[in-house]
């Protein structure tokens, strides 16, 4: 049975407990469910289905079990592993202190988006099918500049994870 990862937008330990999210995914009929970290990453097995269908099932189960839901972005584990293996940052000179970030989109990147886009130490450097790759240098004075850059470019129907988190999820 295929393995999938659901990245939930807006989840934190303050607004969702991971055991509750696990139960929601089990109630949706998914198996071998596992949550990773405390930021809304759920790994599960399911019969082959469209990603939209899996997202809808998870969303409905969260609504039924929790009385609320989170925007859900599902990707197959194999797809994510291929993405990681392609080393999307290899062609760029990136400072060792920079954070590598993967943003998941619902739809392909619009053709009129010209990359790279840079602002205050944050750069959107590359786009894939429905993922965008960014880097940023953390700056406590300016806050999460990269998020405002991403949302201004692609809207708020996105979710973002560090590359390290994506790697952990793909291998779980």
pLDDT in the model for residue 143: 63
- pLDDT score at 140: 74
Q: Tell me the pLDDT tens digit for each residue of 125-147.
A: 999 889 999 999 887 776 677 88
Token output for 63: 């609504």
Rounded (10°) angle between helices 163-171 and 77-85: 130
Can you tell me the distance from the alpha carbon of 106 to that of 117, in angstroms, rounded to the nearest whole number? 20
84-98 pLDDT per residue, tens: 999 999 999 998 889
- Return the structure tokens found at 18: 């991971």
How far apart CA 126 and CA 112 sit, in angstroms, is 14
Please compute the mean of the pLDDT values over residues 110-122 and round it to a whole number. 89
| pLDDT value of residue 66 | 92
The CATH class for the domain spanning 3-76 reads alpha beta
CB under 8 A, 24+ apart: contacts of 112-119:
113/153, 113/154, 117/149, 117/153, 119/145, 119/149
- State the pLDDT at residue 119: 87
- CA gap 170, 150 in Å, rounded: 23
Check pLDDT > 90 for residue 110. Answer: no
Is the pLDDT score of 121 beyond 90?
Answer: no
Express each pLDDT in 24-62 by its tens digit. Answer: 999 999 999 999 988 899 999 999 889 999 999 999 999
**pLDDT of amino acid 142:** 67
Distance separating alpha carbons of residues 62 and 69, to the nearest angstrom: 5
pLDDT at residue 147 in the model: 87
* DSSP output for 1-43: --EEEEEETT--TTT--HHHHHHHHHHTT-EEEEEETTTTEEE
Q: What is the pLDDT of residue 164?
A: 95
Confidence at residue 117, expressed as pLDDT on a 0 to 100 scale:
93
Average predicted confidence (pLDDT) for the chain: 92
Spell out the domain ranges in the chain.
3-76, 81-171
Q: What is the pLDDT of residue 160?
A: 95
| Token pair 């079990």: residue | 65
What is the structure's pLDDT at 63?
Answer: 95
């Amino acid at each position: 049975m295929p393995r999938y990862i659901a990245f939930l937008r807006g989840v934190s330990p303050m607004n969702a407990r991971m055991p509750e999210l696990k139960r929601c995914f089990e109630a949706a009929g998914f198996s071998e469910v596992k949550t990773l970290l405390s930021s809304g990453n759920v790994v599960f097995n399911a019969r082959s289905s469209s990603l939209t269908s899996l997202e809808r099932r998870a969303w409905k189960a969260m609504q039924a079990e929790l009385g609320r839901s989170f925007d859900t972005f599902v990707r197959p584990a194999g797809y994510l592993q291929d993405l990681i293996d392609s080393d999307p940052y290899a062609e760029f000179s990136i400072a060792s202190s920079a954070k590598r970030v993967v943003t998941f989109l619902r739809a392909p990147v619009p053709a009129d988006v010209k990359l790279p886009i840079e602002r205050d130490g944050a750069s959107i450097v590359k786009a894939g099918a429905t993922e965008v790759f960014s880097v940023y240098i953390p700056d406590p004075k300016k806050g999460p500049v990269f998020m405002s850059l991403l949302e201004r470019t692609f809207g708020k129907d996105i979710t973002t994870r560090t590359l390290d988190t994506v790697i952990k999820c793909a291998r779980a």
